[in-house]
Amino acid sequence: MQTYLLSQQFNARPLAENSTACPANATICSGASCVLPEDNFNETLSVILSTVLTIMLAMVMFSMGCNVDIKKFWGHIKRPWGIFVGFLCQFGIMPLTAFLLSLAFNVLPIQAVVVLIMGCCPGGTASNVIAYWVDGDMDLSISMTTCSTLLAMGMMPLCLFIYTKMWTDSNAIVLPYDSIGISLVALIVPVSFGIYVNHRWPSKAKIILKVGSIVGAILIVLIAVVGGILYKGSWIISPKLWIIGTIFPAAGYSLGFFLARIAGLSWHRCRTVSLETGMQNTQLCSTIVQLSFTPEQLELMFTFPLIYSIFQLTFALLILAGYRLYRRHRVKTKTDVEKTEEKEDTKSTSSHAKINGGFVSNETK
């Protein structure tokens, strides 16, 4: 009798699976196709990781502040040419590039909107870590990130109003001003403490900076891995968005660098502006998308911020690797040239000494 009941239960499973009825907790139903909400494990994991990442981010920004000279930082604020160039890149180049890419690939209106939201976001804090590793201007990097986050309060609504007209009503997009404010506070407070430590205890600040830069590198990789775990069910998306997600950050890095060079900035500041332009606040973009659109619409667009995040990190690491190789080759070549010049100087001094009766100065002995 027990065997019979068990066989009935096993036979019932295929029938239930083949039926057109969706589970009661499904959020989207279309025949046998259902989308279920995230389970409790993902929610718990998300809360834990968000807490850990927030603490790590505060530590990283504190350590980055330890590399900021308050006089140079204030100099950028008083003579904000570098910040102005960064502003043009952040809220001029990036939204326009997003608009042109959406037109060129003829994506769906809802997908064009998410690309534009990404283009209108301020710079992300990961750019400060990469700027440190490529010997960028940390004073400019921190001031650009701070100013772009602050100016996003007004520039994001303006840019979205201008560029999203042909696809959607800009009033339909909800901007989380509280999230922008929290990002600003989370940036300013630890950086301010770092600047103070650097001013009072420069030797200790250098140690903190080295530790923080390593933690920052780990944090960037960890964020990418966490995103892949939490959103592993959202990878089925239009190939066009994958292509845009690849081209967009590369265009941001390239155009930011060239505009900074045209504006007459030094090479290390060009690298800084390039990174600040291409590295966007993808977490803010995800928040805006979730607040503004229905679950049906999210299916078509939700993964784009994660795609952009992966490729902006990939290209940033390529820039870092390229710069390190260039620097190593340049230092080696410079050393070889200096040695050659020393040998030539020694030879010319010796020949000069022979002509003048064998006198050699103490400096060349």
- Kindly state the DSSP code that residue 173 receives in the 8-state scheme: S
Q: Which two tokens stand for residue 9?
A: 């239960």
- First-to-last alpha carbon distance for the chain, in angstroms, is 106
Letter string b/e over residues 161-188, b meaning 16 or more CB atoms within 10 A of that residue's CB: eebbeebbebeebebeeeebeebbebbb
**Long-range contact pairs involving 72-77 (C-beta distance under 8 Å, separation at least 24):** 72/139, 73/139, 73/142, 73/143, 73/195, 75/139, 76/139, 76/140, 76/143, 77/143
pLDDT at residue 150, rounded to an integer? 86
pLDDT at residue 44, rounded to an integer? 67
pLDDT at residue 246, rounded to an integer? 92
In whole angstroms, how far apart are CA 127 and each of 64, 142, 273? Answer: 11, 9, 9
Beta bridge partner(s), residue 280: 123
In degrees, to the nearest 5, what angle opens at C-alpha 149 toward C-alphas 147 and 151? Answer: 65
pLDDT at residue 293, rounded to an integer? 74
Ranges under pLDDT 50 in the chain:
1-20, 25, 32-39, 233, 335-338, 348-365
